[in-house]
Amino acid sequence: MDYRFFTGAACGLLLLAAARIAIGHRHRVGSWWLLILMFGASLYLLRPLLDNQSALTGLLINLPTLLIPGAFWVFTYQLCNDKEPFPRWGWVVIGVEIAIDLASQLHLHPFFYLLAQPCKLGLIGAGLATLMQQLQSDLVNERRQLRIGLLIAIGSYMVIVVCAEFVFSYFPIPAGVATLHAIMASALAFAACLWLLALSPRALEESLPSITEDSEPTAPAESPTRPEPLDANQQVLLTKLQQHMQAGGYRHTGLTIRELADQLATREHALRALINQHLGFRNFNEYLNQFRIDEASRRLCDPNEAHLPVLSIALDIGYRSLSPFNAAFKRRHNQTPTEFRRAQLPE
């Protein structure tokens, strides 16, 4: 009875959160993957209560649960990468994992079940690694909180469930484990609803870019909300920041926003808010790239520096290696640095 109660509570709360997302954030990148994740989680919780169904019905109920690890990875990627599409090889990996898991559900061979569990953990691990990637550089406060919450709560919960599912397929399930699982799920669902509906109702809106953000609007766009005017302290900080960057502060290799805040003798959260809310950058590395690529573009056009290798210029302006410099430069100019130099300084 306790299991049924807490399972029903968890599913009800998940549906409430899903309705909030579907109504308010359906035009946000990644929102549909979050809805798939919630729907699959609801069916996963309900599955033990539906054991009397036919084999075909059971398979149809299980199908959405197969999407949970992949949906988690795709959602975290689209959450943390504002403009980068999900990599094509990632879809292949997800497709292979779903095929292996489906073969396991159909009991084609015991080997598929043994292989399916590491594959699930691999996709969940990829999602957790994505959440950790450039976490320190993320300037959107709501998104940083969402990343940390997903890392600590949802990611850990999913890893525990997959591992427990594997262990208890070979050993008897101790009394009370199913109820404990339902209690954990309802607590997480309650926390998600409390956060999305009460504590931080604009969390997803601030975290996920609009699907139509980079496309041509079909209707007159609303005027963007202007940031609040800078107060005296923020204006002083902005002046110090601009002077520091103009003096070449961006050239420091591996510069983090925490180190920059120390250099400017200010608090990190104040600097984050200034760069994000008043300068319009969502990632600290993109803010640095603005200055670094400007300098690189000037130097690549300079005949007096034509003898310098591209790598030397990249290291001079703060990059650790050539690969991130090439990627940042190509995002700006749609050309590699070598192609850009060749076009600007024809032989």
Q: In the chain, which ranges are continuous DSSP H helix?
A: 2-24, 31-46, 55-66, 68-80, 88-105, 110-132, 141-149, 156-167, 177-194, 203-207, 232-246, 257-263, 268-273, 284-300, 310-316, 322-333, 337-344
Residue 225 resides in a domain: no
Which residue reads 């954030």 in tokens? 25
**pLDDT tens digits for range 71-95:** 999 999 988 887 778 999 999 999 9
Distance CA 186, CA 184 (A): 6
Reduce the DSSP state of residue 225 to 3 states and report it.
Answer: coil
Judged by phi (left if over 0) then psi (alpha if -120 to 50, else beta), residue 318 lies in left
**pLDDT tens digits for range 35-62:** 888 888 888 888 777 766 666 677 777 8
- Contact criterion met (CB below 8 Å) for 137 and 81: no
Residue 221 resides in a domain: no
> Looking at residue 306, what DSSP letter applies?
T
Distance CA 162, CA 155 (A): 11
**What is the pLDDT averaged over residues 268-291?**
92
Examine the fold and report which residue of 172, 207, 242 is the final residue of a domain before the chain moves on: 207
pLDDT at 296: 94
Give the other-Cβ count within 10 Å of 229's Cβ.
Answer: 8
Q: Which of 7-16, 105-114, 211-220, 290-299 has the lowest mean pLDDT?
A: 211-220
Q: Which of 109-123, 222-236, 310-324 has the lowest mean pLDDT?
A: 222-236
**pLDDT tens digits for range 168-181:** 777 777 777 777 87
- Contact criterion met (CB below 8 Å) for 202 and 236: no
Within 8 A by CB and 6+ apart from 279, the residues are 287
Prediction pTM value:
0.81
pLDDT at 227: 62
Q: Which residue has the higher pLDDT, 221 or 319?
A: 319
The amino acid sitting at 313 is I
pLDDT exceeding 90 applies to what percent of the chain? 35
Residues 63 and 169 in one domain: yes
Split at pLDDT 50, 70, 90, the class of 143 is: confident
Residue 89 resides in a domain: yes
Residue 159 resides in a domain: yes
Residues 242 and 201 in one domain: no
**pLDDT tens digits for range 7-33:** 888 888 888 888 888 887 767 777 888
Examine the fold and report which residue of 190, 207, 224 is the final residue of a domain before the chain moves on: 207
Which residue reads 């699930």 in tokens? 120
Distance CA 151, CA 141 (A): 15
**What is the pLDDT averaged over residues 318-332?**
92
Our measurement of the distance from residue 244's CA atom to the centroid of its chain's CA atoms, rounded to an integer in Å, reads 31
pLDDT at position 137 over 80: yes
Residue 213 resides in a domain: no
142 token code pair: 């709501």
pLDDT at 314: 93
**Average pLDDT score, the chain:** 84
Residues 36 and 169 in one domain: yes
Residue 30 resides in a domain: yes
**What is the pLDDT averaged over residues 233-243?**
92
Our measurement of the distance from residue 288's CA atom to the centroid of its chain's CA atoms, rounded to an integer in Å, reads 21
pLDDT at position 205 over 80: no
Our measurement of the distance from residue 294's CA atom to the centroid of its chain's CA atoms, rounded to an integer in Å, reads 28
Give the domain range for residue 97: 2-207
Q: Which residue has the higher pLDDT, 141 or 27?
A: 141
pLDDT at position 286 over 80: yes
pLDDT at 1: 54
pLDDT at 315: 94
Residues 105 and 201 in one domain: yes
Residues 308 and 199 in one domain: no
Torsion of CA 107, 122, 143, 211, to 10 degrees: -60
Residue 262 resides in a domain: yes
66 token code pair: 């197969």
Residues 254 and 156 in one domain: no
Residue 250 resides in a domain: yes
Residues 90 and 196 in one domain: yes
| Tally of domains within the chain | 2
**What is the pLDDT averaged over residues 335-342?**
91
Residues 84 and 179 in one domain: yes
Residues 142 and 249 in one domain: no
Our measurement of the distance from residue 281's CA atom to the centroid of its chain's CA atoms, rounded to an integer in Å, reads 16
Residues 56 and 152 in one domain: yes
pLDDT exceeding 70 applies to what percent of the chain? 91
Split at pLDDT 50, 70, 90, the class of 217 is: very low
Residues 265 and 201 in one domain: no
CATH number of the domain residue 263 falls in: 1.10.10.60
Residues 190 and 45 in one domain: yes
- Contact criterion met (CB below 8 Å) for 335 and 343: yes
Distance CA 90, CA 77 (A): 10
